[in-house]
Structure 1
Amino acid sequence: MPAPLLPHVLRVLHLEDSAMDHELMLAHLRRGGIEVRSLRVDSEAAFLAALQQDWDVVLSDFNLPGFSGLVALDLLRASGREIPFILVSGEIGEDTAVEAMRNGASDYLLKNNLARLVPAVLHAVEANETRHARERADRELNKSRQRLRELAQHLQTSIEHERAAIAREIHDDVGGSLTALKFDLAWIARHTTDEGVRLRVHSALETVTLAIESSQRIMHNLRPAILEQGLVAALQWIASRFEKRTGITCEVRIPSHAPEWPAGVPLVAYRTAQEALTNITKHAHATRVQIDLSLAGGVMSLEISDNGRGLSQQDLAKAHSFGIRGLHERAGTVGGWVDLSSGPAGTTLILSVPLNTPGDTAPMPTGPGGEPDDPSQWGSL
């Protein structure tokens, strides 16, 4: 095992009232190959003043006039400084030593047996450095996770904006052109006397009608226009379509009075229900689905449950299973979260979103014009 990497000079704060014991301590450290810069203090005031400096380790006697090592340990912890603390005393019982270790001391030694002094100091300093390195790594990891979370949320929002833009273009350009073409073909059918032309026009009308229906279906998938009627209407509509398409009974339960949801929330709720129903269709083998929308304690909850086969841990741990992960990131765009529970009796997915109350001051995301930015709305066409 490689030797620990220690500071070039070990900075030692020594709480000791005996100058002779202090010199003996320094001799042991230097004999162990440690270069030392030390300060000896013997009172509470001097100890507190010395804590304003940087130290690699604190060595402390147990009994001092009007002061004690345990009190010094409490003062060190109260200061917030994370410095290894080693008790070195000529009279320390096992109970006292155990209490000191419980309170955060790194080690304890007897003055009449300093053979362990150097290993104890080296171990305490190395452990402290390792802990600090782990804390720094944890902070960096948390920052990285936060950046990834923000990126994922930005991508989710960007995707919805792109979908809305494409849906508008299909509505305005493709849909408008196809409708105009349908009118022209109908005019030709009314004014021609040639039966062959009439048959070709009717065939073209059927093709145009199918194209219009396809464009409408694509627009609904990209940005459901039903959200213009509100979240409740959108959930009822998607449940009805799901029931007709799959034959699975889908019950929707909604509050008697639905509030005006904050910007972005209806789309997140709709996409969550859409993803859940898609997964149920593909994997659940369910015969019944229930969608519950509720509002309690300022939190909107959307619960989608089924009586299917449930999800195993292997299903949830699939490397390329991004559906549930995407729901978590999507919920985060409006400050919400997703809970998923599954068992032999089926699967339940719950989206929870805290709603702004009159006392809240958190600003909603804004668009280019400074208005609340809601990707679920068409905007000005």
Structure 2
Amino acid sequence: MDRADTLEAFKTLIDTCEYDVILADYRLPGFNAMDAWAVVQGEGKVTPFILLSGTIGEAAAVDAVQRGISDYLHKDNLQSLDRVIRRALEMQSIKAAKEKADRELAVSERRITEFAHHLQLAIEKERAAIAREIHDDIGGSLAAVRLDLAWLSRHSQDQGLQNHIATATEMIQHAIEASQRIMLNMRPAILDQGLLASVQWLVQGFEERTNSRVQLTTSSDAMRLDAPILLTAYRTVQESLTNIVKHADGSAVRIEISNQGDVLTVEISDTGPGLADTALQKEKSFGLRGLQERAKTVNGWLDISSSVGVGTSITLTVPLNTSDTERQESAP
């Protein structure tokens, strides 16, 4: 146990020793407890700090506790000092355990986000690789088979054989169209033309499938985006339109894209039935949750606003002036 009668002596003790608890008289000739508390805070100490006084009023005591002091005890009640000290130590122990748990949770969340980023990059690279294989291998082989069938058709007069050739040609054409559709879903080449062209292509396909009209507005006709941000925005629009087809077909759809103020904002809204409060908490509700995780990988965030019977609005926001090195990685 050490005693300090001056502020300088208190500073010296705090700098050189670690204490389980600090008992501070509210008012001493040279300094007061709040001066001592300021020193403790300045040093970054987490030692329980108990205020003792016989003159401090209730308002001043409450103010001191609100500033972070562990507890207050009136000098007329010193028989309770043991209990107050034990309580302060227990609370400090609980606080330290919570801070440790919070730090571990933050580390865990950061690792999960990093893993999600890595997983998204791996998925996009695999999508691009599969799309290339479909185009180069499967597409080329199907085209070659179609040419061979056309040659056979020109060099055969047998009607039965011609019927089989026509059927095979039709099936080959169907396979070619299916492979092209799969390839485009994997990684459409139009992504190389930028976000606006890619979204316009998605909108065109959506309107053809649903016979609905989409109102698309943008703040600029030219947006130069890093590949990870471009893919995140594109997949957000793609997944949103897919959800509209599933759950809000026939509703009015509006897409707004803006890159003003060094911030990319993509909002997709519909006038469908909306989402219940528990919709995002379903065990298999991976679509929108996946979009939220994808947004984090580019230092952005995804807001989902929905009202039952009114509609749903999904907004992606991504700062464009960040220097995060991960953003510079080239996605496929």
How far apart are residue 256 of structure 1 and its match? 4.4
Report whether the alignment pairs 1:46 with 2:9: yes
Which of the two has higher C-alpha Rg? 1
For structure 1, list consecutive stretches of 5 or more residues without a partner in the other structure. Answer: 1-37, 367-371, 376-381
Deviation string, structure 1 residues 54-92 (Cα, Å, up to 9, x no partner): 111001223333222232223222322121112234544
Q: What TM-score does the superposition give when structure 1 sets the normalisation length?
A: 0.81
Give me the whole-angstrom Cα distance separating, in 2, the residues matched to 1:104 and 1:293: 46
Look up the SS of the partner of 2:223 in the other structure: coil
Give me the whole-angstrom Cα distance separating, in 1, the residues matched to 2:8 and 2:155: 107
Report whether the alignment pairs 1:374 with 2:323: no
Q: Report the CA distance shift for 1:300/1:95 in structure 2 as closer, same or farther (over 3 A).
A: closer
Count residues in correspondence.
330
Give me the whole-angstrom Cα distance separating, in 1, the residues matched to 2:272 and 2:193: 31
The amino acid of 1:59's aligned partner reads L
Tell me what 2:141 maps to. 177
Which of these residues, 86, 95, 108, is aligned with residue 131 of structure 1? Answer: 95
The amino acid of 1:243's aligned partner reads E
Q: What TM-score does the superposition give when structure 2 sets the normalisation length?
A: 0.92
Tell me what 2:271 maps to. 307
Question: How well do the aligned residues superpose, as a CA RMSD in angstroms?
Answer: 2.0
How far apart are residue 333 of structure 1 and its match? 2.6
Tell me what 1:66 maps to. 30
Give me the whole-angstrom Cα distance separating, in 2, the residues matched to 1:365 and 1:111: 60
Deviation string, structure 1 residues 90-140 (Cα, Å, up to 9, x no partner): 544444433433333323334454210110110011111110110110110
The amino acid of 2:128's aligned partner reads A
How far apart are residue 324 of structure 1 and its match? 1.0
Tell me what 1:200 maps to. 164
Identity %: 48
Tell me what 2:315 maps to. 350
For structure 2, list consecutive stretches of 5 or more residues without a partner in the other structure. Answer: none
Which of these residues, 259, 262, 269, is aligned with residue 233 of structure 2? Answer: 269
Q: How do residues 9-158 of structure 1 correspond to structure 2 at under 5 angstroms?
A: 38-52=1-15, 53-158=17-122
Tell me what 1:10 maps to. none
Give me the whole-angstrom Cα distance separating, in 2, the residues matched to 1:102 and 1:238: 55
Give me the whole-angstrom Cα distance separating, in 2, the residues matched to 1:152 and 1:64: 57
How far apart are residue 364 of structure 1 and its match? 5.6
Give me the whole-angstrom Cα distance separating, in 2, the residues matched to 1:256 and 1:71: 57
CA contact (8 A) 1:275 1:323 kept: yes
Tell me what 2:129 maps to. 165
More helix by share: 2
Report whether the alignment pairs 1:210 with 2:174: yes
Give me the whole-angstrom Cα distance separating, in 1, the residues matched to 2:159 and 2:116: 59
How far apart are residue 270 of structure 1 and its match? 1.6
Q: Report the CA distance shift for 1:361/1:266 in structure 2 as closer, same or farther (over 3 A).
A: closer
Q: Report the CA distance shift for 1:230/1:105 in structure 2 as closer, same or farther (over 3 A).
A: closer
CA contact (8 A) 1:157 1:333 kept: no
Q: Report the CA distance shift for 1:39/1:276 in structure 2 as closer, same or farther (over 3 A).
A: same
CA contact (8 A) 2:228 2:298 kept: yes
